[in-house]
Amino acid sequence: MNPIDYLRISLVDRCNFRCQYCMPEGADLQYVLQQNLLTQDELMLLVQEVFIPVGFTRFRLTGGEPLVRPDVVEIVRSIATLPETQDLSMTTNAFLLADLAQELYDAGLRRINISLDSLKPEVFDQITGSRGRSRWQPVWDGIQTAYRVGFNPLKLNVVVIPGVNDTEVLDLAALSLDREWHIRFIEFMPIGNDGLFQDRGWINSETLRQQIREKWGLTEGQVRGNGPADVFQIPGAKGTLGFISQMSECFCDRCNRMRLSADGWLRPCLLNETGQIDLRTALRSGVPLYELRQQVRELLMLKPDINYKDRDSGTTGRYARTMSQIGG
């Protein structure tokens, strides 16, 4: 396996969108109470005294929606200025990004992934659960602002859902032609959304690549990124196309990450719930930091087993937490 040096940190489980595949309508979403969220001080203590000492140097802030957390810019600044931080990025829905992009950049954030599942406002609003005023334009403005401010690479995440946005794959791929935008197509996963998943199913990445190949041709990327995406490019395009194929392909051997939820649960594998550690409770009940480091080190040793042996138990759709609660 790759060295595990990448931590995805969920800043908050709440989101200003209600995407049907992530926070499904009618799902009993128990939000974390404010007092159970890791505070900025607790988060920074864990990052500096637990995660960095055991080898994490790359961090992604996510959620829920990270931009709804009022201290998001300060958190970015605190992590970006640590000498050990080799990489800091964020995943956001961009609804609040137009106003925050410059501040985030000035605080040290350089890389951003934005979820954009459709170029059609009505489809976008249906997916994101917008009622009344369309959310598409503010998101598009957020993307344009981030691009102007200089975020690079700027990646757009697309979850492809049959019968919802699968007819837009070529239009979305075309966004990589003239701008250095990197489109990431993500296979739809059955996490906290059994009903929708059973109803719609998922489309494998190779089917999407075939569509793109037939229209423009497709070359395999020169460099494999550190992450799970298989990277391709339309010949002559400025940006790239990535495919994250966790349903059709096992890329556990490339997995370099763990996830920390907004309430302090450290999760070694997205696709199953084995081995999680409740770091917030431990921290608040006075467990010494050297013991927390030891617990995390032990979990790092167990990760290959958790990923491989327990992987299948995670693809059943029976998850206690949705992606918004885990930190996608």
Tell whether residue 91 is a contact of ligand SAM (CB under 6 A). yes
Nearest Cα neighbor of 225 from 120, 304, 316, 113 is: 113
Q: Which of 89, 92, 118, 261 binds ligand SAM (CB under 6 A)?
A: 92
The stretches of the chain forming alpha helices (DSSP H) are 40-46, 72-80, 97-106, 121-128, 136-149, 169-178, 194-200, 205-216, 279-284, 289-309, 323-326
Compute how many other C-beta atoms are within 10 angstroms of the C-beta atom of residue 320: 9
Which is closer to ligand SAM, CB of 264 or CB of 328?
328
End-to-end CA distance of the chain: 21
Q: Please work out the total of residues on this chain that contact ligand SAM, with binding judged by CB under 6 A.
A: 20
Tell whether residue 205 is a contact of ligand SAM (CB under 6 A). no
Q: Which stretch binds ligand SAM (CB under 6 A): 1-9, 29-37, 88-96, 259-267?
A: 88-96
Residue nearest to ligand SAM according to CB distances in the complex: 328
Tell whether residue 100 is a contact of ligand SAM (CB under 6 A). no
Tell whether residue 22 is a contact of ligand SAM (CB under 6 A). yes
Q: Which stretch binds ligand SAM (CB under 6 A): 38-46, 91-99, 100-108, 169-177?
A: 91-99
Compute how many other C-beta atoms are within 10 angstroms of the C-beta atom of residue 42: 15
Return the structure tokens found at 258: 């763990």
Tell whether residue 115 is a contact of ligand SAM (CB under 6 A). yes
Tell whether residue 157 is a contact of ligand SAM (CB under 6 A). yes
Tell whether residue 323 is a contact of ligand SAM (CB under 6 A). yes
Phi, psi of 34 (to 5 degrees): -50, -45
Provide, rounded to whole angstroms, the least separation between the CB of residue 15 and ligand SAM.
5
Tell whether residue 89 is a contact of ligand SAM (CB under 6 A). no
Tell whether residue 62 is a contact of ligand SAM (CB under 6 A). yes
Return the structure tokens found at 71: 């201290």
Q: Which helix (H) or strand (E) holds 253?
A: none
Residues 6+ apart with CB under 8 A from 107: 73, 74, 76, 77, 80
Q: Which residues lie near ligand SAM (CB under 6 A)? A: 15, 21-22, 62-63, 65, 91-93, 115, 157, 159, 186, 188-189, 191, 193, 323-324, 328
